[in-house]
Structure 1
């Protein structure tokens, strides 16, 4: 092995990672416990000396992983969980490399197809209720011409939960937040596309309810075509 191979790549932390690291350290030290409320975005922004967008993105990422819960009335609350598992998860959030957008989307698509296949077989009545609720929330946003990226992804996450595979769910929670952030930034969910997506979601849910795995898979593959094409265009592939 040559001298060059002995050197390690220098990893530069993003502002979001630095915020996550400080929250992790406060949890480890016991200063942040389940039920504790974080300071406001404004106060955190002033304390860290960075823009509120970075604060908001860190909170959204930790909320997606179930570590924090953001409530418009009560603020951002630390969730109750096994502390060792939570610390490990936060560490993993920061250690994950930043793959290109196409790789994220491609990985998501592989897992989505598996998830919908299994969800059609394994879903429970409770899963169906959660899927219907998620779809109704998405439809409400679309019909009112409001941003619906979050509701879109929550519907997909409920499909993953309905497949009852904890590993797949954990992997999806790794790739979805970064995809969601790019979607928000690129304003992917315009009204026409959102309405098309709504119709496809309805078809997917109907196939899951009917426990028709083949039809559910076909609908999901069709639904994901536009996502893959968008990611390819973004990288000029």
Structure 2
């Protein structure tokens, strides 16, 4: 199916270029793997400057639907891709940092997503997927694992279970929401009084979660997933709320 490019108006140029490319995607004329024409060819077709075209392409690259490869070889240029995970995580982190979403909202989103993913994984997960999750869990239980390493593996474990649920969107959203609070969770892990005990407790819950999924006990896995998330993530909500209350007038809430 040939792609028909149309000139765009000069007003808000890069947004109009974006709109034109989006229309080609929605119409099915641009698909994942397709390569865009070189800038020197595409800019005149749109009737815009190459700088405006580059700005539009940078936006598409940021949101994870385009990858640009500089150079002159056969692999150079811009190519349509399907890679929303990193882009969604980045956007959620920024919006969370800007206060667009509260920590409590993120908690409730995690609970809803992971209840669904653990229940679905118990019905649909392939043994190989769960074997990979178990391999990650084995690394999480090793002595000497630092909070930073644990945080990375913990994210990987939850995303693997979500991926095994058979719902790609749930997996992407789970990864993005978990990614949005990565720094806060790491800070909380680093500040616990007894890290080995915390590590052991969390891994006991991970082990039981995986056992329930393997046994096909989806509702029990969903209930435990919620308790698991509320148990640790919930303490972050309380701590942030306490810090906010204490900071309203510069004194701890209990002293006012």
Instruction: Quickly name the TM-score band, shorter chain normalised.
Output: 0.5 to 0.7
Quote the offset at 1:231 in angstroms. Answer: 2.9
Aligned to 2:139: 137
Which of 203, 212, 232 is matched with 2:217 structurally?
212
**Two-structure CA RMSD over aligned residues (Å):** 3.4
| 1:121-164 per-position Cα deviation (integer Å, ceiling 9, x unaligned) | 11111112111111111112xx2252211111111111101111
Equivalenced residue count is: 168
In the alignment, is residue 85 of structure 1 matched against residue 91 of structure 2?
no
Alpha carbons 1:153, 1:176 under 8 Å: kept: yes
Distance in 1, matches of 2:85 and 2:144, equals 40
Quote the offset at 1:196 in angstroms. Answer: 0.4
Larger radius of gyration: 2
Are the structure 2 counterparts of residues 185 and 211 from structure 1 closer, same or farther at C-alpha, using a change threshold of 3 Å?
A: same
Mean CA deviation greater in 119-128 or 86-95 = 86-95
DSSP 3-state at the match of 1:97: helix
Are the structure 2 counterparts of residues 146 and 163 from structure 1 closer, same or farther at C-alpha, using a change threshold of 3 Å?
A: same
Alpha carbons 1:24, 1:87 under 8 Å: kept: no
| 1:91-128 per-position Cα deviation (integer Å, ceiling 9, x unaligned) | 88448632222222221111111111010111111112
Between the two structures, name the one with larger relative contact order (CA 8 Å, sep ≥ 6).
1
Q: Structure 2 unaligned segments of length 5 or more: list them.
A: 1-57, 246-256
Alpha carbons 1:123, 1:163 under 8 Å: kept: yes
| 1:22-43 per-position Cα deviation (integer Å, ceiling 9, x unaligned) | x859x755328xxx9xxxxxxx
Aligned to 2:152: 150
Aligned to 2:229: 224
Quote the offset at 1:86 in angstroms. Answer: 4.2
DSSP 3-state at the match of 2:82: helix
Aligned to 2:178: 176
Are the structure 2 counterparts of residues 145 and 92 from structure 1 closer, same or farther at C-alpha, using a change threshold of 3 Å?
A: closer
Distance in 2, matches of 1:167 and 1:135, equals 23
Q: Structure 1 unaligned segments of length 5 or more: list them.
A: 1-19, 37-81
TM-score, normalising length from structure 1? Answer: 0.60
Aligned to 1:62: none
